[in-house]
Amino acid sequence: MQQSKVEYPNWFASTAQKNFADLLLRLSDKTDLKFLQLGAFTGDASVWLLNNVLTNEGCHLTDVDTWLGSNEEAHHSMDFNDVELTYDNKLKTYTNVTKFKGKTIDFLRQAPLDYYDFIYIDADHTAIGTLLDAELSWLCLKSGGVLAFDDYEWNDGTGDANRPMPGVNSFLERHKDELFLICKNWQLWVVKK
């Protein structure tokens, strides 16, 4: 397989890895865990999960991404064919990961209900896109499962419609009696009752 010559930012290490370690490592002795990641980019979070949490029998990760990028400024100069190649190279040796190339809504509309132990939302960063991903993911999350939103405090300066926080806040208000908050910083994590 061809190798990328581009060094992409590891946003996972700089903004998310601490929360993953603090909140997910306690699951590393479990079997049959099912994790879903919406938005995989170059696979940094995927590799970390597969090496540190999803290590036992029956554990599986599903990654969903279009690998087309977005309108975000940081994506403008990136070749997303190469981003996808980078992901493929990082994940090629793992047997307990499934790659779904497509829109999150297309995946979530056919995903099993009450199935996942952990869902990580880091795909469409618009308020409405984040809300839609959250609502559809909620149906797929087990009771006791964790739903995590990346980039909760991210702001590109173009208004609330283009950032996750308003969508996340709307989701929290709609489901306030069905969840409890376990983390709120750059990210926001909840547990489904």
Q: How many C-beta atoms surround the C-beta of residue 58 within 10 A?
A: 11
The CATH class given to the 11-192 domain equals: alpha beta
What pLDDT sits at residue 74? 61
- pTM value is 0.94
34: three-class secondary structure by DSSP: strand
What pLDDT sits at residue 6? 82
Residues of the chain with pLDDT under 50: none
Summarize pLDDT for 159-192 with one digit per residue, the tens: 778 899 999 999 999 999 999 999 999 999 999 9
Which of 56, 52, 61 is CA-nearest to residue 25? Answer: 52
What pLDDT sits at residue 162? 84
